[in-house]
Amino acid sequence: MKLKILNFFELNEAFAAQSLTVLRDLKIVDLIEEKVNPNGGAIALGHPLGCSGTRILGTLLHEMV
C-alpha cells in the first residue's frame, strides 16, 4: 500500500510525541493539517471519555462513507 493513495490518517495521539515521530518518519508531517485526524483527535475527543479506539474507528468509517 502506498501512502499517497490514503485520503486520511486516524491516529490515536494519546502519546502525541510518538505520533509526531511516526509522521516525521513517514515524511507526511506537511499533511497533518489536511489528512491527519481531520475532525479532531483522541486527546481532545476520545481520551476524556475513555473511548479513543472507538472514536478513531467511528470517525474513520464516517469519513469513508
- Residues 40-58 have a mean pLDDT of 70
Please indicate whether residue 55 or residue 29 has the higher confidence score (pLDDT).
Answer: 29
Burial class (CB in 10 A: 0-12, 13-18, 19+), 43: middle
pLDDT at position 8: 82
Q: Structural domain of residue 28, as residue ranges? A: 3-64
In sequence order, the β-bridge partners of residue 9 are 36
pLDDT at position 25: 92
pTM metric for this prediction: 0.54
| Residue in this structure with the C-alpha cell 489536511, named with its chain if needed | 34
Structural domain total, the chain: 1
CA dihedral 23, 26, 29, 34 (to 10 degrees): -90
* 7-48 pLDDT tens trace: 888 777 667 778 888 889 988 888 888 888 777 766 666 566
Residue 27's contacts (CB-CB under 8 Å, 6 or more residues apart) are none
pLDDT at position 48: 62
